A and B are shown apart, each in its own frame.
Chain A
Amino acid sequence: MLSMELNAETPAPAALDALGQIVGSVGFTGEATGVVYLYSSLDFAILITSRMLGIEMAEVDHDEMVNDAFGELSNMVVGYIKSRLCDAGLSCTLTIPSVVRGQRLSIGVPSEIQRRIIGFRNCENHLLAEMLVKQKK
């Protein structure tokens, strides 16, 4: 659906700040509870939107289209994660996606939360997926 090749890369934790111009997030709650954030630069988000919709980048409406497409992409990523969790016996429900924009965004994480970050790269563009999971007591 993205019509582009993404390669996994090892992300540097500091890279989150540099890339944080648009962040899509979807939470999950149930036997597994947490949230997944998807970070990218606005330029890459526009490219992703144009590829998803099959239109030129110049035709992309920077606000509504990008927010919706990035939210939907986050939903698909977390939908896949949810499927893996459910298949492992951790049934959970997803929240609706939300999108935040800004400069040098960073997410604060309490110490008891498990954090996993996976990086992806397409040419010079980077996409980070950050998964926060609350540990079972």
Chain B
Amino acid sequence: MSVKILTVDDSKTIRMIVAKAFRPYHCTVLEAQDGIAGLAIAQREQPDVILLDYTMPVMDGFEVLARLRADRELKATPVIMLTAEAGRDTIIKIANLGVRDYLIKPFKNELLIERMLRVLPLKLKSEGLERFKRFDDPIRILVVDDKPAIAVWIREALADTPWRITDTDQSGQAFDKCVDPGADIVLASLSLANDAAYMLLQELRSHANTATIPVLGMSIRTATVEQARAQEAGFAGNITKPIDADALRNSISRALKLDISYKYFKQCGSALALTLPKDSHQNASDVVSLRLDELLGATVEAGGDRLIIDLSAIDTVDLQVVKLVISALESCKKLSMKHAVVAQPAAKAMCRKYEESNSWSFVDSFDDALSPAKQPGK
């Protein structure tokens, strides 16, 4: 999955060097030539990390950083400072700014990549596109906690999933277990002695084969300072103890960006069926929006020609549903695909309250949508 890196530097040369260094990786490099443009892009694009030049005209790196830290949306965004000034005072000043790291110019590309890997995982394009992990895949979870009861509880909480949980109370063994048998995600207690969770995160990030494994911190609800420190250090999220089973699943799903689109999409012959759930339209909308264009494209590539939007399960047609259907039909139109909207009379009547639904091709049942004789037009 692609990450966004924003480079803010008045030197086009440095911006080009940065962009080139990250070209082999799955990431998008955004560029800004001064602090003001950098802040605007950061607010709009919400980058995963910012490479910030220290000395710039108009607004220097110090002021940009202060404004980032004052911005609710951006204050946690990791910043790596670039500077041509390697003096003791400058380094101390930069270190005190709360940046994640700094680099002295001139720097080698390898060093830039190494520093970036400490902050976030990067995947080489040559590793190929990995398919999205699904919620029902056998996700491998490693629990690192010196309280064995935590691992027992997590095992019980996730017993109805196909996820495989291993655990260790020895932080020294955790890295080895991430390599063999391997882990898709690590849950590490932030209260381990000697900052062992942080050391583990650093070690994972510094090895190419473990650099992308997300690590979730575990702490008690009131340990807010520790949680903020963990977020700053690059933990993918936090699970508070006592652990809530739903929150645990959600945190793991988010951290692994698990694909749950299979709940909504199904291939039916030459058609792609999109079935909206009874409720939770916002969740469905987020997931569907993420995968719709890709799946429609794959359907056409495979010789398919139609999208069936099944509204028969839903109780209420709200604006969220209407927006989702409009967006789906626009995607269909771009690919010259036909469509059919399956809706019972009540749902159809609710749709008709929205003027936009005038152009929708309704059918009464899913079978009708699949039947060539009853297929509506494009």
Contacts and interface: CB of A to CB of B under 8 A. Distances in A.
Nearest to B58: A96
A76 interface: yes
A44 B277 CA distance: 66
B108 A79 contact: no
Contacts of B86: 79-80, 83
A1 B17 contact: yes
Interface stretch (A6-14, A65-73, A106-114, A116-124): A65-73
Name the prevailing secondary structure of the B interface residues.
Answer: loop
Contacts of A84: 87
Interface in A56-83: 64-65, 68-69, 71-72, 75-76, 78-80, 82-83
Interface stretch (A15-23, A33-41, A86-94, A129-137): A86-94
Q: Which of B16, B85, B86, B105 has the most CB of A within 10 A?
A: B85
Interface string B53-68: 0010100000000000
B84 A75 contact: yes
Interface residues of A, number: 26
Contact of B88 (A52, A53, A64, A87): A87
B87 A69 contact: no
Contacts of A82: 85, 87
B246 to A, nearest CB: 49
B248 interface: no
A75 B20 contact: no
Given A75-B55, A91-B89, A68 B13 contact: yes
A80 B57 CA distance: 19
Contacts of A68: 11-13
A87 B106 CA distance: 19
B14 interface: yes
Nearest to A66: B13
B90 A86 contact: yes
A92 to B, nearest CB: 10
Contacts of A72: 11, 13-14, 105
B354 interface: no
Nearest to B109: A54
A133 B166 CA distance: 65
B83 interface: yes
Interface string B1-35: 00000000011111011001000000000000000
Interface of B: 10-14, 16-17, 20, 55, 57, 83-90, 105-108
18 contacts: A1-B105, A53-B13, A53-B17, A54-B17, A65-B12, A68-B11, A68-B13, A72-B13, A72-B14, A75-B84, A75-B105, A78-B84, A79-B84, A80-B84, A82-B85, A86-B89, A87-B88, A96-B57
- List the 6 closest pairs (A to B, CB-CB), nearest first: A79-B84, A1-B106, A83-B87, A86-B87, A69-B13, A83-B86
